[in-house]
Amino acid sequence: MGSHRTVAVVADRLAWEERLLIEAAPAFGLRLDWVNDESLSLGHPDAPAVKGYDTLLIRSRSYTRGGLIATLAEAAGVPTLNTARAIHACENKAALRALLHTAGVPVPDHRLVLSRKDFDTALADLPLPLVLKPVFGGMGKRVTLIRHADTAHSVYDYIEDLAHAFEQASVVEPYLGGSSVRCLVVGRELIGAAEFESGGKDWRNNAALGNKNRAVDHDPDVLKIIDGVVDVLGPGIYGVDLFSTPDGYVVNEVNHAPGFRAVASATGADIPSAIGRHLQELLT
């Protein structure tokens, strides 16, 4: 595979981010190859799909594949970025919040909802408006704003109709406003931070939805939270989403395979080079 250190970019497709990472790699003595996350057939320690690679860069957008692939790759002796432990934590919003809260990292008030009885309790405990979101999922999908109590149970009907308990597991939390801050972290460093705001057609401010954004300063309070997140998960590549509250920022979620086009556009940060340097340091 030549003189370059070789990295498998494990993803279901080559998006804008993966293409830039592959283009930037040679400047850091790296060669990045795309490996489709649907074609790995891992399980045996000598799995041929990952044999010969120095590390796997897990960019799988699936909320089931990433952690499983990383776990089996590590068992086959191939290190992964992010680690299997970090990916598994990020894939599960409820588990991640428990880990962060235990470590003293602020997270939103929330309730785990596994049944309609749980949902009734959450409605009684928390003030409207509320946000109902899947425990496993990302990119703003199936995240629902509940403004009125008389429609809440009609909304929950759709959750009950989902076929699997995996899909039904949900989190209910107070609605914390129309903007959030996405922090792109590489290693332990905050590379860029941008505020995302709903563009008016959709109340959600998720970066994947292409809503309005602007660069924000690296606030000391934000840097402290980022340090806390990395202390829990270990150094890696993360998209840390924050909400602002009267008591300060709270961590809404951490994305283990973050898209970074919007943060790069808002801040001008050279994120592919930051990731290339981090990979170079890990493989030296």
What's the confidence (pLDDT) of residue 211? Answer: 61
97 part of a folded domain: no
**Identity of residue 127:** P
103 part of a folded domain: no
Are 195 and 220 contained in the same domain?
A: yes
Which residues have C-beta within 8 Å of that of residue 117, sequence separation ≥ 6?
A: none
Are 170 and 190 contained in the same domain?
A: no
Q: What is the CATH number of the domain that holds 58?
A: 3.40.50.20
Q: Do residues 248 and 242 touch, judged by C-beta distance below 8 A?
A: no
Query: Which H helix or E strand runs over 281?
Result: helix 271-283
Which residues have C-beta within 8 Å of that of residue 121, sequence separation ≥ 6?
A: 111
Q: Which domain holds residue 142?
A: 111-174
Q: What is the pLDDT along the chain (284 residues), one digit of tens a residue?
A: 457 899 999 999 999 999 999 999 999 999 999 999 988 888 877 777 788 899 999 999 887 899 999 999 999 889 999 999 999 999 999 999 999 999 999 999 999 999 999 999 999 999 999 999 999 988 778 899 999 999 999 999 999 998 688 889 999 999 998 789 999 999 999 999 999 886 556 766 555 555 678 999 889 999 999 999 999 999 999 999 999 999 999 999 999 999 999 999 999 999 999 999 999 999 98
What's the confidence (pLDDT) of residue 1? Answer: 44
What's the confidence (pLDDT) of residue 44? Answer: 77
Name the domain count of the chain: 3
Place of tokens 């749980």: 118
Task: Indicate the residue among 40, 57, 89 that finishes a domain.
Answer: 89
Neighbours of 160 (CB within 10 A): 11
Write the burial class of residue 127 (CB in 10 Å: 0-12 exposed, 13-18 middle, 19+ buried).
Answer: exposed
Structure tokens at 31: 């060669």
115 part of a folded domain: yes
95 part of a folded domain: no
Are 205 and 275 contained in the same domain?
A: yes
Q: Do residues 238 and 84 touch, judged by C-beta distance below 8 A?
A: no
Are 163 and 185 contained in the same domain?
A: no
Pairwise CA distance, residues 132 & 110, whole Å: 10
Task: Indicate the residue among 133, 155, 174 that finishes a domain.
Answer: 174
What's the confidence (pLDDT) of residue 213? Answer: 81
265 part of a folded domain: yes
Are 154 and 234 contained in the same domain?
A: no
156 part of a folded domain: yes
What's the confidence (pLDDT) of residue 203? Answer: 65
Q: What is the CATH number of the domain that holds 194?
A: 3.30.470.20
105 part of a folded domain: no
What's the confidence (pLDDT) of residue 225? Answer: 98
Place of tokens 């830039």: 20
